[in-house]
A and B are shown apart, each in its own frame.
Chain A
Amino acid sequence: MNIKTVSVIFRKELKETLRDKRSFFISVIFPVILFPLIFSVLDANIRKANTRIRDSFEIGLDEKKGAFAGDFLLSQNRFTIEKNSPYSKLKEGKVYAVVKSDVASANREITIIFDNSRQQSITAAAELAALFKAVSESGPVGRSSGFIFRQETLYSSSTGSSMLILSTLLPFLMFVFAALSPVALASDTGAGEKERYTIEPLLATPAAKTEILAGKYLCLNVMGLIGTVAFAAGIIISTILTPDVFGFEKLEIYLNLSSAVLLFISAVFLTMLFSSAELLLSLAARSPKEAQILFLPLMMVTMTAGYSTSVIDPLNIENIYRHIPLLNISILIKEFSLNILDFRSSALTFTWVIIYISICLLFSKVLISRETIVRRE
């Protein structure tokens, strides 16, 4: 091997890459700016959630008269106590945990019940457990000492872990599937037409540009959906064959029919969204290679949005998140995966997705109508 030849080729490749300012910006500058920006927003959100649980949070209380837990918790000045229907409120996410205290019990039991499908509830239960443990060990002799302390989960262990893992993984996986499935076809259908020089004869036919776009978009959706279903099938088979890999004790089907249908609708919407975005980027690119580079930022944002949802409490979602592109649908998928169905937020998110799709298709129409779509100038 001649090092000189390797060096000549290396320098030429580097020169060519660096001369393409768009590619350089996307592959080098963009991630350097994007990730700190996204993660600082994410960090603020995690900090806020953690601080909230550390400082104060809502607790449901189920205690008999004369029990000490309620008074003790109130004396901490950290908790908002909810005594009415505490278990329903735990399911609805209005309280983070329920403390059950029964002084009449022969053993003076204190039980912390938490939602084992929500990370925030698990954290809150851990905070409470630490508090009670400290009191039990070092507290003054009297009502608050010498009790039996237990923890219970809202769902069975396998259901809880299935729900927790699925609600954490599903938004991310669905984003990855829906974004990746149409990629190859998308880069070929727009930029590929330019590179093959087939765009010019195509535009010289009586087919309207809207018809050309619609045909391409439809194909992207069909192939994207087939890909998404194939990805999902692969994951489902894997969870059945090797549940340990995913952290399941055993796979528990806990989704109700409405949630399953809405998850499928979300997958369709996601595929439509990514297909439209990728069609737009492909039309903006001069070659499939350039299209792949333009897809990079989309993939980065997609992965981040899919991942970000894992740290968001599905039962305490700030309204602003419903308006942030990608994050809103990611949250919705998380909600559906936990059987949380809210018509208003679903309608709002789907409306936003339709708006994003329309914007992408509108810009695609603008691009295909521009003379620069014909590459040879």
Chain B
Amino acid sequence: MHWNFNQLIIYNHLQSELLKLNNTGIKLIQIENISRSFKKSNIKALSGVTFNVEKGESVALLGENGAGKTTLIRIISTILKQDSGKCTINSFCSLREPDMVRKSIGILQGGESGLYDRLTAWENIEYFGLLHQVKKETIHKRIKLFTEILEMEDFIHRRSGTFSKGMKQKTAIARSLIHDPEIVILDEPTSGLDLSASKKVQDFILYMKENGKSILFSSHNMPEIMKVSDRLVIMHKGKIIDSGTRNELETRYKMDMENTFHFLTGERR
């Protein structure tokens, strides 16, 4: 039986509702009092950051440039080590069991997509699947699925050196999910993309969410955050200044989300 993309979304939505009933309260990302400084540049990037992401939840990290979002994401993905505090991913400690953490997460780094120019999109994705020790047949099945969902048919067998930003980002997203991780971390996934590519990526985030993935993503784009996140964590100068659902925050500050954000991160702070 062949399902189209919309049918898949509905099916996955029903499944995810069932999952939510079963999984509520299971914390897949636990960040406890994390601090991190960069001695060379004398910057305190993170200071006592604490928050959780539950199974099946989509959490947006919101903050201006230099707020510490990328540093936090790098600590979660074990690229950086925290000076103090505890980071537990899928019940694995990021310092003691970094390999298990890396197996549990799929990460899309911010900025450049980080593809190998002389490899095709297919080869780029396959390479990372193999590094995650996924079987070749499974990798190929998944690449075909991602190709269909992300509409990559036109360029999947082309070398990535010639790709547009949107093509690169779609390839990078597929690459980060090839090992079917439980936790997906996306650092500014739609940054620099045109409207059409942004929408496709946002739809894919929703698809992953419906599929029961736990998602932590950072973004500057308020409508995107509203569209795909269950909860917001607002960061400013390395600290979490507030968090909650959109309704909770708007009710608390008696203004819409955009103004709430500006109010919280404004000069008064």
Contact = CB atoms under 8 A, between A and B. Distances in A.
Interface of A: 196-208, 371, 374, 376-377
A179 to B, nearest CB: 24
Contact of B114 (A196, A206, A208): A196
Given A196-B117, A200-B114, A371-B81, A206 B102 contact: yes
Contact of A204 (B40, B81, B102): B102
Contact of B111 (A199, A204, A376): A376
Q: Is the interface of A mostly helix, strand, loop or mixed?
A: loop
Contact of B133 (A203, A206, A374): A206
Interface residues of B, number: 29
A105 to B, nearest CB: 75
Nearest to B131: A205
B109 A197 contact: yes
Nearest to B106: A204
A162 B244 CA distance: 83
Given A197-B113, A206-B131, A374-B79, 19 more contacts: A197-B111, A197-B114, A198-B116, A200-B74, A200-B79, A200-B109, A201-B107, A201-B109, A202-B131, A204-B105, A204-B109, A205-B132, A206-B103, A206-B133, A207-B131, A371-B80, A371-B81, A374-B80, A377-B40
Contacts, number: 56
Given A206-B102, A206-B103, A377-B41, A201 B133 contact: no
**Could you say which of A204, A206, A208, A374 has the most chain B C-beta atoms within 10 Å of its C-beta?**
A204
B69 interface: no
Nearest to A377: B38
Nearest to A211: B131
Contacts of A196: 112, 114-117
A197 B112 contact: yes
B258 to A, nearest CB: 28
16 contacts: A196-B115, A196-B116, A196-B117, A197-B111, A198-B114, A200-B109, A201-B172, A201-B176, A202-B131, A204-B78, A206-B131, A206-B132, A207-B131, A371-B80, A371-B81, A377-B41
Interface string B109-138: 101111111000000000010011100000
B17 interface: no
Contacts of B107: 201, 204
B175 interface: yes
